[in-house]
Structure 1
Amino acid sequence: MNKLPNCSQAFISRSKIENYLLNASHCEGKSKAMFFSKFGYSLANSNEFYESLRDLACESLIIQIEERPPFGTRITTEGSLRTPDARNPQVRAGWFFDKDDPKNIPRLVTVIPARSK
């Protein structure tokens, strides 16, 4: 398996973190916020979560590539997310590469718990 291309330049929106992934009030994000809170993440330490997601971008492995014409490519990765309580769960992250981006920078779409094997 391969690593995410241009992982060191990955774009991770602070809004995506604070208004979606760690927002217990968000209609779709609340289950993710509950999951991450079990491992010590909250809005109070969203900067630490951001850094862990940056690490995840380069440390996780590609498990799926989907072409999404005419928009670009979605890549799913799986890896261990560094957490405050050091339990570091396996998660899947969705990254999108916009067709019109000449730098080919991955943009974080979502993060979910990995499926149990």
Structure 2
Amino acid sequence: MALKNSGKHLVLTIRHEPQPKGLQEVYFSRRPNQPIGLNICGGIHSPPANMNDLTDEGIFIEKIEKDSVADESGKLRIGMRILEINDDSLLGCKQIEAANLFRKADGTIRLLVCDGFNTIDESVSIFYP
């Protein structure tokens, strides 16, 4: 009712939330059926991955295999939040849904990532075969 009674002119104020800290796109190439070398954790209905915020249901990088296609960019870090895989959003996503998006992605893969949580010692979580 308030909009109808506002008269001929209406002033709207639009506020944009700031971009997440560390927001960046990371690209790497993958041949069909080639392992990406990335383990993920988190997602809705999963145990919390971000120990700084137990209500955070984001998808995070858990492990990066040394010398894998994911490691080659040099930009991915353990604890980073993955927002998108190619054009698919991971917001409100289950871990299995995110894993399936990784499995079906071939060729050039684009990840939209931002800072997530910091690990005390990243070398503990890096997988060395």
TM-score, normalization by structure 2:
0.28
Which structure has more RCO (C-alpha within 8 Å, separation ≥ 6)?
2
Give the structure with the larger helix fraction. Answer: 1
Larger radius of gyration: 2
